[in-house]
Structure 1
Amino acid sequence: MTATPYLSSRPAPCAGVGIGWRHSHYAELLERQPALDFLEVHSENFFGAGGAALAVLMQARAQYPISLHGVGLSLGSAVGLDPWHLDQLARLVARVDPVRVSDHACFARGTLGAQTVHGADLLPIPFSDEALDVLCCHVQQVQDRLQRRFLVENLSAYVRWDSAVAQDWSETDFLSTLARRTGCGLLVDVNNIYVNARNAQLAGQAGDPVQACRDWLDALAPDVVGELHVAGHCHVQDAHGEIVIDDHGSRVSPAVWALHQHALARFGPVPTLVEWDTDVPALDVLLEEAATARQAAQAVQGTAEAVA
């Protein structure tokens, strides 16, 4: 597969910090207009042809750049993309003209009996040659339809494929090859990497999770990364065992902030998004997290300038 040339060229580096804009903060943010570089929304929440939701989004678009982040394309599904979903996304992109458009390296659609169904979850795909071909085909299909470069996010996963199915590639080589073949970018979710490393540690499959995450980040070429995500997670322990869940329901942990700074040093001035989707706090809490992300970017930039 040969990438379309205009899709494979990387935009000029753009440092910036944004927050995930959720319903509880719609009115307050529009009134206060805090200093943010962009807002990120879930694409599927604005698929209607009109109505209040889209009207509010366009109000925000007049004040801030918008990043569209999807959860429903199901890029890794062997049954193919949903034409209706892609139609709605293309219409929204044309209306909003976002700074970035993204979704996940996962599958959600499959067959049940004679019907195609959507699992309403982000399920992991095997890191196999066949799965890579499917993912590349679908990402290229999305880019051709949207006429722009698309970003694909790494997944936090709580189940895994049998090693006989999934071991053609490491995750980083799999994603890097996807970017090289299609010209897409990667949305690196630092919290997802850490959650996976912590769960591997709890399962006795890995040592130091922070070092495992640094190695993961260092395995990616800097020029394929277009955005970073940070978020909170929770540690659950009950009679069934222990697990770390990427719930986006708390402040970013110190370990993830440290990895975020490592990522900035590795990838350069790429935008950072602070996600918070459950137990959404006061807007000021998100703005404090955004300020922490901005300070990290400034510190890395200052170090780079001192070295130069």
Structure 2
Amino acid sequence: MLIAQTSQGVGMPQLGFGVGLRAPHYDTILRDAPEIDLFEITSESYLATRGKPLWFLDQIAERYPMVMHGQALNIASVDPIDFDYLRELKALAKRVSAHWISDHLGWTGTRQKSSHDVLPLPYNERTLHYLVERIAIVQDFLERPLVLENPATYLEFYESNMTEWDFLRRLSKRSKCKLLLDLNSLYISCYNHGWDSDNYLQGLPFDQVIQYHLGGHQNFGTHIIGTHAAPVAKQVWTLYEKVLRIGGNRTTVVQWDTDIPDLETVHAQALEAKSRWNMLVSYADAETFEGVD
């Protein structure tokens, strides 16, 4: 069994297997100093805030590597780019020494009205051209590559004339942005739209993928919704192993945003991801050894 190389590209370190930083776990982290590889913070949780949240963040950032994942960049909106938001984002990244800043491929509102969710967009040349221009502005301001995540979607546009994976490949090539592959969202979108996950993975530019996300969902039979309120589903674990074989290992973060259990339970999911990677490597090494005369 061959396993892909694990290179993450120039300047993008392999940080290991971590979890999203959530307020119910602050005290446990500072008290017990658990051996967690990294934390991913929700950017907006620490913007325009003072007091305890930032105090906890500063203490934890001194001890653990950090990456940032936002929800309000609104990169695909027709609204002007919010430079006040970018300024705060850049300052926060400096404050916690974030290795990278990620957000979602999609839009979250227009005319100062928020949908409180990431909404899909048509995959075509017009959208691609529009996004490349906006990403360039954001990257120039942040002075670093932007990392964009594939969305979990529940509808498609008649105006789309390319697949999501083809769109991501073209977008990363033209804009030089990096990609965050959310395995839960990938599974959800494939289920909801009848896409072939093998075709999706074969079409992705894994040399531009620097991080994986894992999380939970709820299956309603006719459709699946991403909830981040449950353990990683077995189907997503299967997809994760397939991704590891095709694309290699990447910094992996488990998201658990509602009905949050204790930190040990969430961290166990990250350790499961690490275990599955180590097992694949062990199998590959064993097969290589057996093939040597």
Equivalent positions of 1:94-105 (< 5 A) are: 94-105=94-105
The answer to whether residue 215 in structure 2 is matched with residue 215 in structure 1 is: no
Counterpart in 1 of 2:189?
196
Residue 166 of structure 1 aligns to a residue whose secondary structure is coil
Q: What is the aligned-residue identity percentage?
A: 31
Match of 1:170 among 158, 163, 169: 163
Q: Give the deviation of 1:252 after TM superposition.
A: 0.5
Q: Distance in 2 between matches of 1:135 and 1:306?
A: 45
Tell me whether 1:134 sits opposite 2:130 in the alignment: yes
Query: Residue 110 in 1 paired to residue 79 in 2?
Result: no
Q: Distance in 2 between matches of 1:14 and 1:271?
A: 5
Q: Is the 8 A contact 2:218 2:224 kept in 1?
A: yes
What amino acid does structure 1 have at the position aligned with 2:167?
F
SS at match of 2:220: strand
Give the distance between the partners of 2:122 and 2:238, measured in 1 at CA.
29
Q: Is the 8 A contact 2:228 2:256 kept in 1?
A: yes
Aligned 8 A contact 1:127 1:171 in 2: yes
What do the CA deviations read for 1:62-83 (whole angstroms, capped 9, x no partner)? 1100110000001111223222
- Could you tell me how far apart the structure 2 residues matched to 1:15 and 1:56 are? 21
Shift of 1:33: 1.6
Partner of 1:156: 152
Alignment of 1:284 onto 2:264: yes
Partner-residue secondary structure (3-state), 1:78: coil
Contact 2:9 2:207 in 1 (8 A): no
Alignment partner, residue 295 of structure 1: 275
Q: Which runs of 5+ in 2 are unaligned?
A: 1-7, 289-293
Give the match for residue 5 of structure 2: none
**Residue type at the aligned position of 1:246:** G
The one of 238, 247, 262 equivalent to 1:267 is 247
The alpha-carbon deviation at position 148 of structure 1 amounts to 1.4
Q: Partner residue of 2:54?
A: 54
Given that 2:152 and 2:188 are in contact with CA atoms closer than 8 Å, whether structure 1 keeps it comes out as yes
Q: Distance in 2 between matches of 1:300 and 1:219?
A: 22
Aligned-partner residue type, residue 98 of structure 2: P
Q: Give the Å deviation of 1:100.
A: 2.0
**2:188 maps to amino acid:** V
TM-score relative to the length of structure 2: 0.90
CA distance in 1 between counterparts of 2:251 and 2:83 reads: 30
Q: Where in structure 1 are there 5+ consecutive unaligned residues?
A: 1-7, 201-205
Distance across 1 between alignment mates of 2:257 and 2:109: 23
- Tell me how far apart the structure 1 counterparts of residues 145 and 280 of structure 2 sit (CA, whole Å): 26
2:9–2:210: 8 Å Cα contact kept in structure 1? no
Task: Give 1:9 shift.
Answer: 5.7
1:107-163 CA-to-partner distances (Å, cap 9, x unmatched) read 12324xxxx4332221001101111122222222221111112210000012322x2
Deviation by residue 1:177-220 (Cα, 9 ceiling, x = unmatched): 111112111100000011112223xxxxx3xx7xx223211211
Higher RCO by CA contacts (8 Å cutoff, separation 6 or greater): 2
* Match among 207, 210, 219 for residue 226 of structure 1: 210
How far does the alpha carbon of each residue in 1:240-286 deviate from its partner, in whole angstroms, 9 at most, with x for none?
A: xx321100111101110111111112222211111111111121111
- What's 1:71 paired with? 71
Does 1:125 pair with 2:105?
A: no
1:145 paired to 2:141: yes
Q: Using the alignment, how far apart are the partners of 1:151 and 1:303 within structure 2?
A: 32
Q: Does 1:257 align with 2:237?
A: yes
Distance of 2:19 and 2:61 partners within structure 1: 14
Distance 1:15 1:269, change over 3 A: farther
Question: What letter matches 2:74 in structure 1?
Answer: S
